[in-house]
Amino acid sequence: MYPFTYHRPASLDDARARLAASEDGRPLAGGMSLIPTMRFRLSSCSDLVDLNAIDGLAGIERHEGGIRIGAMTRHAAVEASAEVREAIPALAALAGSIGDVQVRNRGTIGGSICFADPAADYPAGILGLGASVNTDRRSIAADDFFTGLYETALEDGELVVSVDFPVPERAGWAKFGNQASRFAVVAVMVSLAGGAVRLAVTGAKSHVFRVPEMEAALAADFSAEALEGIAVASEGLNEDLHADAAYRAHLVGVMAKRAVRAALAP
């Protein structure tokens, strides 16, 4: 691993100042993705600004409009949260399906969405539930946040502070996970809120995406049967030794139906 200078600011302002003053600084959250890439020398930085000592960045709040999850909230906390389990059980299920216990104890929601791994789970949760991402300078709608392979709408030095999830009438999570890594080969989050349906897929492309044909069919009839015959084209889907594009396209259909069934389960 290449050497770097370490910072452990106690406030968001201090973190911003240190990032701004560094030549090529990066924020460090749980480190579950960044540290392995640094170890492989796939990434390096002049300065690492550790966000773990900043008060107020972790926590789960239920309020009138929905649920706010602080950027440094660990996956294990979301998985175990009584508020999340009550309001959006599909989101607790998503958090509980990430990696393994050790990853869930350290990894954070903010870190996951900023890293924007094409097979990460949270991006589907953000997009499928229509969340908004609050940064130190603005709020970004889910539809605008994920822009490409490991790419987000964040500007240089912009820090995610929290994520706001509206509470849907129904939501369901279904994941076909890689048996070893538990990354999503394909996973789907579907939600129904005020007659509008959102269905987001992760693991299948360069970044998370919605499937408008499925959403329209589900808006008319929110049942797994309504998805019968709606296929996602395999063109442009990811291929690796775990699944080729045609198999991934098939899995999108299967996971979408399972997610709808999960959303309808009592």
Measured from the CB atom, the residue of 51 and 192 that comes closer to another protein is 51
Residue 118 Cβ, how far from another protein at the closest point, in Å?
18
Binding site for another protein (CB under 8 A): 1-6, 8, 28, 31-32, 35-36, 39-40, 48, 50, 52, 76, 99-103, 105-106, 180-182
Residue 252 Cβ, how far from another protein at the closest point, in Å?
25
Residue 108 Cβ, how far from another protein at the closest point, in Å?
13
Measured from the CB atom, the residue of 11 and 139 that comes closer to another protein is 11
Measured from the CB atom, the residue of 99 and 253 that comes closer to another protein is 99
**Contact criterion met (CB below 8 Å) for 189 and 128:** yes
Measured from the CB atom, the residue of 39 and 138 that comes closer to another protein is 39
CA 215/CA 224 separation, integer angstroms: 12
Residue 166 Cβ, how far from another protein at the closest point, in Å?
30
Measured from the CB atom, the residue of 37 and 147 that comes closer to another protein is 37
CA 51/CA 12 separation, integer angstroms: 8
Residue 99 Cβ, how far from another protein at the closest point, in Å?
7
